[in-house]
């Protein structure tokens, strides 16, 4: 039997979309939370961070309740003829939910480190809040944002538990590399499991190592000027 | 003052510690002289029947503690090959038992076939689709079909054989969701997240949320038998043999029969 490469493509496709979604959502949430001081801040922050600390099975179970054929979102989407469970989008949803907190948390930390006097100075010069965000906050927080993106990418690539519960194991559609490893090992196909393990190690480690080299070469935009 | 408080905290920590380590240890060693803990790696389709039998066996053998490890037979076989401390292997397929036998991991002469089962097609009870034959799976309204992952789940292997025999496998492949074990197939069907699934007749019988659509002809797949054997590395081989004898006895057979398992000779 020829070696089926579909888990690699599915993983890469899912991880790219999930990273993109986590990037946007995480950045937006961090931007909102950095200035938000209203009631329930701790609770909101906890909810946004929870997929990071909850077992993947809990995340998967909750997503299944939500998107399942009898779940509130599942029924609503069903009216439009969309079924999420056991579809490729389910792998994206599972990966995004677990990767999001890494992006959000890391970005929030980076934004909170910014010297408020710099922002105040920008305001005295008449800059709008949007301009301050794009031209002052983002450049200063860049290392944190890049780190958050890479971490989110690695987490999305490694996602297993919630994916298995929400997306199932459908070769050629939802079977990612993590799932391929699990089922190959359970089925006693160790050479195949090993091949996938090596590949996933190379991609994840490659990403982290690339990040390390990249951040060493940067002149540390945020800290240098402080 | 502060030092006294530290002593108090240390003291309150020490008591549970003493209970857990010293005291607890003495209890454990006292029991070890007479009690046996049997670890049984069993096919997940046997869950409910074996739980019932555990209570029954405990009454006649209070010194034997049964620890069940339920899972897909293929996964359990892998665990035993990797050195998992199981005393008994109760598989839902012969292939998994054959693998352990040829790897010389079973105690010679202890293997025997205990039970038989049937493979059925089930649909969610709430489903508006009415399927009556396996061929109905080709209908476009049937979008997702769950079977066990054939490499590790015997029920999935039988299901694959049935679909191959009926020349349906290739055309149905894009609809197939491969589950980790047969109970996962059942739960996929119960929750309505798939339109149909292939499970054992015993699984279908135990669930009120699925409807029986069809039973696979016995000649469309290899015979479904449940072999059991003592694992060679077992430290409790005598107790393990005794438990096998109990499972083959009339009272145990009655329990298996109640759950829908058949006898094999």
Contact A168 B74 (CB under 8 A): no
Which is nearest to A64 in space by CA: A47, A81, A85, A89?
A85
Q: Number of A to B CB contacts under 8 A, please give it.
A: 61
- Out of B78, B178, B192, the one facing A169 most closely (by C-beta) is B178
Please, are residues A160 and A178 in contact by the beta-carbon 8 Å criterion?
yes
Separation in Å, CA of B32 to nearest CA in chain A: 34
Mutating which of A168, A178, A179 best tests the B interface, going by the most B Cβ atoms within 10 A? Answer: A168
Alpha-carbon B45 to chain mean position: 5
Percent helix, strand and coil across chain B, each rounded to 5? Answer: 50, 20, 30
Please, are residues B177 and B194 in contact by the beta-carbon 8 Å criterion?
yes
Contact A168 B143 (CB under 8 A): no
Q: Which residues in chain B land under pLDDT 50?
A: 22, 24-33
pTM of the model: 0.84
Separation in Å, CA of B173 to nearest CA in chain A: 9
Contact A169 B193 (CB under 8 A): no
Winning range, highest mean pLDDT, from A8-22, A205-219, B29-43: A8-22
| Per-residue pLDDT at A47 | 95
Contact A186 B152 (CB under 8 A): yes
Please, are residues A25 and A152 in contact by the beta-carbon 8 Å criterion?
no
Q: What is the pLDDT of residues A139-181, one digit of tens each?
A: 999 999 999 999 999 999 999 999 999 999 999 999 999 999 9
Q: CA dist B50 to A63, B53, B61, B103, Å?
A: 32, 5, 15, 27
Separation in Å, CA of B87 to nearest CA in chain A: 20
Q: What is the pLDDT of residues A68-109, one digit of tens each?
A: 888 899 999 988 888 999 999 999 999 999 999 999 999 999
Evaluate if residue A125 carries a pLDDT over 60: yes
Structure token digits, residue A67: 């998107």
| Per-residue pLDDT at B233 | 95
| Residues of chain B contacting residue A86, judged by C-beta atoms under 8 Å apart | 144, 177, 193-194
Q: What is the pLDDT of residues B2-42, one digit of tens each?
A: 566 666 655 565 555 555 554 544 444 444 446 899 999 99
Helical H runs in chain B?
A: 2-18, 24-32, 47-60, 73-81, 94-102, 154-165, 169-172, 182-190, 201-206, 237-247, 250-258
| Per-residue pLDDT at B132 | 95
- Out of B151, B174, B194, the one facing A188 most closely (by C-beta) is B151
Q: What is the pLDDT of residues A26-78, one digit of tens each?
A: 999 999 999 888 889 999 999 999 999 999 999 999 999 999 888 899 999 98
Rg (CA), chain A: 20
Please, are residues B57 and B10 in contact by the beta-carbon 8 Å criterion?
no
Mutating which of B127, B146, B178 best tests the A interface, going by the most A Cβ atoms within 10 A? Answer: B178
SS3 B88: strand
Higher pLDDT, B130 or A217: B130
Q: In whole angstroms, give the CA distance from residue A144 to residue A138.
A: 10
B-contacting residues in A 36-65 (Cβ below 8 Å) = 64
Higher pLDDT, A210 or A59: A59
Percent of chain A with pLDDT over 90: 78
| Residues of chain B contacting residue A184, judged by C-beta atoms under 8 Å apart | 151
Contact A183 B74 (CB under 8 A): no
| Residues of chain B contacting residue A183, judged by C-beta atoms under 8 Å apart | 149, 151-152, 178, 180
| Per-residue pLDDT at A220 | 55
């Amino acid at each position: 039997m020829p070696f089926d490469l579909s888990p690699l493509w599915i993983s890469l496709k899912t991880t790219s979309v999930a990273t993109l979604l986590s990037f946007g959502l995480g950045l937006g949430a961090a931007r909102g939370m950095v200035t938000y001081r209203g009631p329930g801040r701790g609770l909101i922050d906890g909810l946004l961070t929870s997929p990071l600390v909850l077992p993947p099975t809990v995340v998967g179970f909750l997503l299944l309740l939500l998107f399942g054929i009898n779940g509130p979102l599942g029924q609503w989407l069903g009216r439009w003829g969309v079924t999420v469970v056991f579809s490729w989008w389910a792998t994206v949803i599972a990966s995004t939910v677990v990767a999001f907190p890494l992006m959000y948390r890391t970005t929030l930390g980076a934004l909170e480190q910014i010297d408020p006097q710099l922002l105040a100075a920008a305001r005295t010069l008449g800059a709008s809040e949007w301009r301050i965000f794009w031209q002052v906050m983002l450049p200063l927080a860049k290392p944190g944002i890049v780190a958050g993106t890479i971490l989110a990418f690695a987490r999305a690539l490694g996602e297993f538990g919630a994916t298995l519960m929400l997306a199932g194991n459908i070769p050629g559609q939802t079977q990612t590399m993590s799932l391929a490893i699990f089922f190959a090992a359970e089925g006693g196909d160790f050479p195949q499991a090993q091949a996938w393990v090596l590949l996933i190690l190379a991609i994840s480690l490659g990403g982290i190592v690339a990040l390390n080299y990249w951040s060493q070469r940067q002149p540390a935009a945020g800290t240098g000027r402080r | 003052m502060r030092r006294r408080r530290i002593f108090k905290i240390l003291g309150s920590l020490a008591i549970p510690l003493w209970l857990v380590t010293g005291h607890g240890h003495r209890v454990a060693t006292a029991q070890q002289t007479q009690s046996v803990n049997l670890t049984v790696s069993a096919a997940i389709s046997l869950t409910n029947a074996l739980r019932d039998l555990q209570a029954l066996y405990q009454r006649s053998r209070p010194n034997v503690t049964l620890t069940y490890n339920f899972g897909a037979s293929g996964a359990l076989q892998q665990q035993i090959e990797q050195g998992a401390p199981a005393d008994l292997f109760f598989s839902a397929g012969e292939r998994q038992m054959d693998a352990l036998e040829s790897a010389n991991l079973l105690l010679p002469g202890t293997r025997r076939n205990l039970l038989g089962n049937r493979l059925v097609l089930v649909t969610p009870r709430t489903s508006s689709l009415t399927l009556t034959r396996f061929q109905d799976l080709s209908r476009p309204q049937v979008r997702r079909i769950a079977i066990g992952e054939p490499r590790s789940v015997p029920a999935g292997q039988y299901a694959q054989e049935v679909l191959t025999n009926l020349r349906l496998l290739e055309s149905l492949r894009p609809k197939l969701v491969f589950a980790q074990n047969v109970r996962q197939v059942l739960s996929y069907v119960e929750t309505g997240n798939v339109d149909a699934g292939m499970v054992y007749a015993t699984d279908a019988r135990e669930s009120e949320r699925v409807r029986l659509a069809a039973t696979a002809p016995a000649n469309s797949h290899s015979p479904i038998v449940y072999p059991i054997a003592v694992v060679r590395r077992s430290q409790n081989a005598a107790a393990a043999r005794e438990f096998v004898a109990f499972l083959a006895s009339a009272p145990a057979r009655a329990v298996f029969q109640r759950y829908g398992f058949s006898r094999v000779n």
